[in-house]
Amino acid sequence: MTGAAPKSSAARFDSPEQEAFLNLWRTYDRLRALEDELFAEFGLTPQQYNALRLLKAADPDALPTLAIADRLVSRAPDITRMIDRLEDLKLVRRERPAHDRRTVFVRIAPAGVALLDRIAGPLRKCHERQLGHLSAPQLKKLVALLQAARAPHEPDDGHWK
């Protein structure tokens, strides 16, 4: 007996939007697995890496904890715990201004900068594994389509708009 013919898209999905979304989700899962593997080698999660990258970009300034949370690529359910972990690893430092002890600023520590420097080369290779098979025009088109897909869902003052 031969294998059944693949079902058409119309039979597998309720709508073109569902097909696009599920393809996006599957793509994210496959690409994220490569990134998770890389960051695990350095004892980080992708969100922790993202926070360090944001802090390095702000250096020498510190960022308020909530500003870090707002700028992350994906939302962090517990930014305080994530910063706790990075502080335990001596990758960041917290600062509280004398005039407002409730506000917490976070600054990247020298060890955090050094770790990002060590990750840079392997991360570049990871991105090449993820998307290096696409041409520059294809990548540009992909970025434009992704921006268009999420535009109505981004806050007006967001960093990704």
d(CA 62, CA 3): 60
Total-model pTM: 0.83
d(CA 34, CA 64): 30
Q: What total number of domains does the chain contain?
A: 1
Residues in the chain, how many?
A: 161
Evaluate whether 51 touches 73 at the Cβ level (below 8 Å): no
Angular region, 7: left φ>0, alpha ψ -120 to 50, beta rest: beta
Q: Tell me whether residue 10 is in a domain.
A: no
Write the pLDDT tens digit of every residue in 113-156: 999 999 999 999 999 999 999 999 999 999 999 999 999 998 88
d(CA 141, CA 106): 36
Helix (H, G, I), strand (E, B) or coil at 64: strand
Q: Within 10 Å of residue 130's Cβ, how many Cβ atoms?
A: 16
Q: Tell me whether residue 157 is in a domain.
A: no
Q: Tell me whether residue 161 is in a domain.
A: no
Q: Tell me whether residue 158 is in a domain.
A: no
Q: Which segments of the chain have a pLDDT < 70?
A: 1-10, 158-161
Q: Tell me whether residue 85 is in a domain.
A: yes
* pLDDT the model gives residue 50: 94
d(CA 145, CA 151): 10
* pLDDT the model gives residue 156: 80
Residue 94: give its domain's CATH number.
1.10.10.10
Residue range(s) defining the domain that contains residue 71: 16-151
Q: Tell me whether residue 3 is in a domain.
A: no
Q: Tell me whether residue 64 is in a domain.
A: yes
* pLDDT the model gives residue 111: 98
Q: Tell me whether residue 25 is in a domain.
A: yes
